[in-house]
Structure 1
Amino acid sequence: MPSKPRNRVGEIYGRLTVVRPSDRRTKGGNAYWWCRCVCGREREVPSDKLSHNTTRRKPVVTACLECSKELQVEGVYAKNDREEAERREQAKRNREQLIGQVPSTWLRMPLTDAHARELGEVLFFRGTRCLRNHLAPYRINGGCLACAGQVPSAVVTNPHQELI
């Protein structure tokens, strides 16, 4: 017979507040608890998933299913925003090194494809080389313009020079 679990009623884990015990048990013998989310929905959660330790290896439940999905989507958006900001900063650094080496019109183009979409433009210039070593603007749907034969690549004195 499994031991009686400690009373968790009233404890708060993320957005969940434990409201009452459940009759269910996990295969490992842990008790389930009914928890109420801040949105008002209830969720049955095993006690081994309720924890304040966010660095543990086991997954931790901190919200109802709907709020968990929202939190996951918000996390993905935040990550994408951080990565886009890093790409724009890198593009600025790359372009600063190319002043005088490429046409000034290229330096006035958007920094990334997302930046070009925000501005309603089709072309952008990161200041990096394509796989065929061209230094040219890109289309937002992908592809170096020099590879497509639309715009000549910028003249570079050292063709093996890496621009990262």
Structure 2
Amino acid sequence: MPSRPRDRVGEIYGRLTVVRASERRTKSGNAYWWCQCSCGREREVPGDKLSTNTARKKPVVTACLVCSRELQVEGVCTKNDREERQRRDNAERQRKALMGQVPDSWLRLPLTDAHARELGQVLFFRGTYCLRGHLAPYRINGGCLACSGQKHSAHESLMP
């Protein structure tokens, strides 16, 4: 017969507050607990998934199913925003190094494809060479304009 679990009623794990014990047990003998999320929904959670240790290797439950999905989406959006900021910073640095070597009109274009979409434009200029060695603006849903033959590469015009 399994041992009596430690009383967790009233303990808080993320957005969950333990309300009462459940009759269920996991295969390994851990007790389930009924927890109430800060949004008001209840969720039955195994005791081994409740933890305040953030460095833990096992998965941890910290919210109801609806709130955990929202937290996951927020995390992905935050990560994407951080990566976009990095791309824009890199493009800004690369473009500063190219001042005087490329047309000024290219330097006035948006920094990344996401930046171009925000501004409602089709072209952007990162200041990087494409896979074929061209230095030219890009289309948001395509590639380098020099590869498609629409504009000359600044790299080619600099060569004798």
Report the counterpart of residue 120 of structure 1 in structure 2. 120
Match of 1:90 in 2: 90
Partner of 1:102: 102
- SS of alignment partner, residue 155 of structure 1: helix
Q: Structure 1 length as normaliser, TM-score?
A: 0.94
| Residue of structure 1 in register with 2:139 after alignment | 139
Q: Which residue is 1:162 aligned to?
A: none
Note the C-alpha offset of 1:120.
0.6
Q: What residue in structure 1 maps to residue 20 of structure 2?
A: 20
How far residue 155 of structure 1 moved from its aligned partner, in angstroms, is 3.2
Structure 1 stretches of 4+ with a deviation exceeding 4 A read 156-159
Aligned residue-pair number: 159
Deviation of 1:142 after TM superposition, in Å, equals: 2.4
Residue 46 of structure 1 is matched in structure 2 by 46
Question: What is the deviation of 1:113?
Answer: 0.3
State the partner residue of 1:33.
Answer: 33
Secondary structure in 2 aligned to 1:130? Answer: coil
Distance in 1, matches of 2:153 and 2:32, equals 64
**Residues 101 and 156 of structure 1 are in contact (CA less than 8 Å); yes or no, is this contact kept in structure 2?**
no
Q: Return the TM-score normalized by structure 2.
A: 0.97
Structure 2 unaligned regions, length at least 5: none
List alignment gaps of at least 5 residues for structure 1: 160-164
* Residue type of the alignment partner of 1:2: P
Asked if structure 1 preserves the Cα contact closer than 8 Å seen for 2:13 and 2:50, the reply is: yes
SS in structure 1 at match of 2:94: helix
Per-residue deviation at 1:105? 0.4
Give the SS at the match of 1:52: coil
Taking only the aligned residue pairs, the percentage that are identical comes to: 76
